[in-house]
Structure 1
């Protein structure tokens, strides 16, 4: 017996399961597979028979491969529909689907909703033995078999770390959710790189002391500029520019190295990257 069903999830976010249609897109279907590859899943979903949404205000879509398990994709509020005449063929739709626009069916306006955003791409249900019934009522009991970890909350290694300012802010301000990040970043000293994605200018900095890299980067979250002279001037001139800052790591250093060793390594990277004459380092 399942611990809980997808209908429970719908109720949790305030949706009446009886007003929700569940749709299973299968990658084994050539037409859908071509649309999936072309990144036009939304457009593919909008194209249905005229009476497809009768009695339903919302559609929730899933994507499956082989078997009966499928992963939550999106949630939509259903709007008006127009005939699927050839002039309604969406840009990018593969020919295998485009030729189905003959004015006999409908093209629905779907409004993407964030109600299930936290589960999209992570929540997996068992569609059941009736896999050929690719659209079913929201009241049909679909066991939730797994909710996968949110990949952005998993620390995947220093060498893979690239963060925008907004992503860094979320991590710094949510230590419980991002516990692995806090543990890793506070355990090392480092030479780091900040790039202004608007201009490409770079800043090389160093992090050392009790809280390591986490402590230094937290200063940027609090002050926006980390008390760096040229970055201060930049933000003074363009107050929203900090949103374009990208943070990454050039080199990890153990906590056992001296402060002088960290600073010498930082200076070496400034020379290599020419961040004093051409970047945002002023010394």
Structure 2
């Protein structure tokens, strides 16, 4: 049995609300922003386009839950307390209200969007918004998916490491291995490895905080284009993992093997040797 959002949320005057449909903006996923920085997420609800999308008193924010199709995570209700006439600036001052705060980051909603609208009038879609699930606790990032299933955007790995997600950390800090970083913008691959006393967690933490992990070609790229380039374009995958007791030479040999498989050396990829 499906339950409409209107049966859970008591909104006596839907015409006072605009729905903010927050999704990929070309640089960041709002779900990742919501997890890593709530002030940054608030600013997502202050942005004004030329169309003056949020021209009502309240903004009901829904976050594209990109792990699942046609699913949105409730991101709170914001009150627009002031407006500027200047378009394409942070021209709203929007503050999080106490409306339904116990459901922020917990309520998942099913709705299929037609087109690319960023804002909709609540009264026009409120009966189409269906409750999919209420999480037992606020969403704080993806659970560990298993070594063989890692194929994640830089921004997802960034959140996992900065939040020190326990299930990911306990898994990745206790294995050596070989990994691939793929640049989605051009298809180039960097093959790297973690060995010695450093597990995958430690090695990937270096990428998160630098964008390049001090690899020569990636350092040149990120120095030129900035950390935002890594967030937008880099994908991490784990090709092989081994116990920490594995001899380092075995890991290095497997790294060489995968470099040959992917033809990842310059000029075809980002490996120098």
1:260 to partner: Cα distance: 0.8
Residue matched to 1:246: 235
Residue matched to 2:42: none
Instruction: Give the whole-Å Cα distance in 2 for the aligned partners of 1:22 and 1:74.
Output: 20
Instruction: Give the whole-Å Cα distance in 2 for the aligned partners of 1:146 and 1:213.
Output: 30
Residue matched to 2:214: 227
TM-score w.r.t. length of structure 1 = 0.51
The reply to whether residue 279 of structure 1 matches residue 269 of structure 2 is yes
Q: Output the aligned Cα RMSD.
A: 3.9
The reply to whether residue 202 of structure 1 matches residue 164 of structure 2 is no
CA contact (8 A) 1:230 1:280 kept: yes
1:209 to partner: Cα distance: 2.9
Residue matched to 1:51: none
1:72 to partner: Cα distance: 7.6
Which of 214, 220, 223 does residue 201 from structure 2 map onto?
Answer: 214
Instruction: Give the whole-Å Cα distance in 1 for the aligned partners of 2:60 and 2:229.
Output: 39
Instruction: Give the whole-Å Cα distance in 2 for the aligned partners of 1:272 and 1:145.
Output: 44
Which structure 2 residue ranges, 5 or more long, are not aligned? 1-7, 15-56, 63-71, 81-95, 110-125, 128-132
CA contact (8 A) 1:21 1:58 kept: no
CA contact (8 A) 2:104 2:138 kept: no
Secondary structure, in 3 states, of the residue corresponding to 1:153?
Answer: coil
Instruction: Give the whole-Å Cα distance in 1 for the aligned partners of 2:175 and 2:259.
Output: 20
TM-score w.r.t. length of structure 2 = 0.53
Larger Rg: 1
The reply to whether residue 170 of structure 1 matches residue 159 of structure 2 is yes
C-alpha distance after superposition, 1:98-133 (max 9, x if no partner): xxxxxxxxxxxxxxx9965412318xxxxxxxxxxx
The answer to which of 178-187 and 166-175 deviates more is 166-175
Instruction: Give the whole-Å Cα distance in 2 for the aligned partners of 1:58 and 1:231.
Output: 40
Question: What number of residue pairs does the alignment pair up?
Answer: 174
Instruction: Give the whole-Å Cα distance in 1 for the aligned partners of 2:219 and 2:213.
Output: 8
